[in-house]
Structure 1
């Protein structure tokens, strides 16, 4: 009985599962009429197990809508019916070279992929590379204990900013009274590689939450903040700190690095025909992806309005690290809203 149920779950033949569960529910009701506590507990456990298995099997992620001829199977993402190839699934990672190992491992270990009964290919297509920002030299001027102690906090909102900051300060920060605030676990880990201890991490890994929760100084004293950031980072931190009426923050922003779009080779562009899902870790990666898609399709000479065609994104599902990146996909006009996946409550690579 249970083997038959398991096989139907594995094959996603849910109409048969529904029948089985209905029959088993009747069995459960009959068992409750008996005086055997063991039978009642066992029946309840297996009923719960069956329901959980079906719900988890229907909660698929990283599955793509695609316009190819060999579409055969249907999976479910965020309550939407999404078609995907039954034989093969190709997932592209767009972070800089050498920074995709963590998400590689996470995706490869995802139990949902094994349910798809498909071959999964993981490929690296770095969409951005980093370059020094206009304020990089200014950061070096702060790289001493006496200068950095002008600030009460240093806010770090990305692993790359952590790397730039760590390389600039080396051993000069350790005896400083200045505290470090990191936006999330990945950034905290990047700082730890330079033996820099983080004093504050917000409850949610977003700039909005960090700005809202950063501890203020007592007695409404001015809290001076240094913010080494990407030149393309929005003013989320500044706006969030200024919006806190009960606190008094003064922020110095330094654009210490910049993200530059990577240009795909012909070999990389030929992969567009095979890719089902693109994983994006930043709005810059989304923009760079679309620029390369335009070159591939020969539409780079068209106006922005003419290129804003739903589906004109390389034919991929967008899996985003958080809301900011997902918003960039949506505002580009190239994706249907239900073709963009992101983790709302717990952004990050792990999610």
Structure 2
């Protein structure tokens, strides 16, 4: 992929208008993308795609294997339609469980929880990565308890394993507007009373450096942590068939989404999480290196 040039991946070609702020604009095949300049490593092996500043753990984990990364955020978070209801709901209603299925949902929840006066809450999280966002608050407060993590970090398993110690067990589920209905459907099927609030959403990033984009499409492995990131990547490249580098996903949900969108060389661990994600990245790199030597 190193021989591919940017114009093969952005269609139509760049239309650049210069300004004193050194910002430019172009058009991809789907939408308008604003472009700004940034620096990047000379020989990256992996593209990391979470919001800027949220890739540190993965970058550090890969650095232990001598792997350089290119930071290329594909998504950014925005307020959801129910965000304004969250702190009011926490103030007025007590729930037996609060279910959190992503780090961003956890951060949004904690802001509202503090605004509501830090009421007593019992939290169930989908996995260790999500649990980690509560680390600091657990040391400072005794009114928030992370009381449940499922045996496998998926929505389906969480919904099937969440403890139910009384007939009418209530659940508040602050979620991404783009999250599936698997949590509330699974819990409702077991008799839980579930209230879902769409407190945030994800949108494709609208600031892309053309030089970084060119480097990203030539980098051996793309790492992705959500279906939204996969969709954003497909929006950037004009032809899925022309791009055949490795895609290393954090878990099965993202991996399945990648395959459904036509990406070909997809890797993901059986159990979502940082350790498995790194293993999938290493596997993708190994296959890439083997093909290069063949």
Which band: TM-score by shorter chain?
0.7 to 0.9
Equivalent in 257, 261, 274 of residue 328 of structure 1: 257
Structure 2 residue 48 is the aligned partner of structure 1 residue 104 = no
Structure 2 residue 114 is the aligned partner of structure 1 residue 180 = no
| Cα distance in 2, alignment partners of residues 256 and 175 from structure 1 | 19
Judged with a 3 Å threshold, the aligned counterparts in structure 2 of structure 1 residues 94 and 225 are, in CA distance, closer, same or farther, namely same
Q: State the Cα distance separating 1:242 from its structure 2 match.
A: 3.0
| Cα distance in 2, alignment partners of residues 182 and 191 from structure 1 | 10
| Cα distance in 1, alignment partners of residues 133 and 100 from structure 2 | 10
What is residue 133 of structure 1 aligned with on the other side? 80
Q: State the Cα distance separating 1:204 from its structure 2 match.
A: 1.1
What is residue 292 of structure 1 aligned with on the other side? 236
More relative contact order, 1 or 2 (CA 8 Å, 6+ apart): 2
Q: Does structure 1 retain, via aligned residues, the 8 Å contact 2:90–2:119?
A: no
What is residue 210 of structure 2 aligned with on the other side? 266
Q: Does structure 1 retain, via aligned residues, the 8 Å contact 2:202–2:228?
A: yes
What is residue 161 of structure 1 aligned with on the other side? 105
What is residue 317 of structure 1 aligned with on the other side? 246
Q: Does structure 2 retain, via aligned residues, the 8 Å contact 1:159–1:191?
A: no
Equivalent in 187, 190, 197 of residue 241 of structure 1: 187
Question: Unmatched 5+ residue regions in structure 2?
Answer: 5-42, 139-143, 277-294
| Cα distance in 1, alignment partners of residues 217 and 149 from structure 2 | 41
| Cα distance in 2, alignment partners of residues 193 and 270 from structure 1 | 39
Aligned length: 232
What is residue 46 of structure 1 aligned with on the other side? none
What pairs with 1:211-226 in structure 2 (closer than 5 Å)? 211-218=159-166, 221-226=167-172
What is residue 340 of structure 1 aligned with on the other side? 266
What is residue 230 of structure 1 aligned with on the other side? 176
When normalised by structure 2's length, the TM-score is 0.73
Q: Does structure 2 retain, via aligned residues, the 8 Å contact 1:90–1:274?
A: no
Q: State the Cα distance separating 1:174 from its structure 2 match.
A: 4.9
When normalised by structure 1's length, the TM-score is 0.62
Q: CA RMSD in A?
A: 2.1
Question: Unmatched 5+ residue regions in structure 1?
Answer: 1-65, 70-87, 114-119, 295-306
**Structure with the greater alpha carbon radius of gyration:** 1
Judged with a 3 Å threshold, the aligned counterparts in structure 2 of structure 1 residues 179 and 173 are, in CA distance, closer, same or farther, namely farther
What is residue 70 of structure 2 aligned with on the other side? 123
Partner SS for 1:194: helix
Judged with a 3 Å threshold, the aligned counterparts in structure 2 of structure 1 residues 139 and 172 are, in CA distance, closer, same or farther, namely closer
What pairs with 1:65-84 in structure 2 (closer than 5 Å)? none
| Cα distance in 2, alignment partners of residues 193 and 160 from structure 1 | 15
| Cα distance in 1, alignment partners of residues 3 and 275 from structure 2 | 30
Q: State the Cα distance separating 1:249 from its structure 2 match.
A: 0.7
Deviation per CA, 1:84-113: give whole Å up to 9, x if none: xxxx66210001110111111111223xx6
Q: Does structure 2 retain, via aligned residues, the 8 Å contact 1:276–1:315?
A: no
Judged with a 3 Å threshold, the aligned counterparts in structure 2 of structure 1 residues 273 and 203 are, in CA distance, closer, same or farther, namely closer
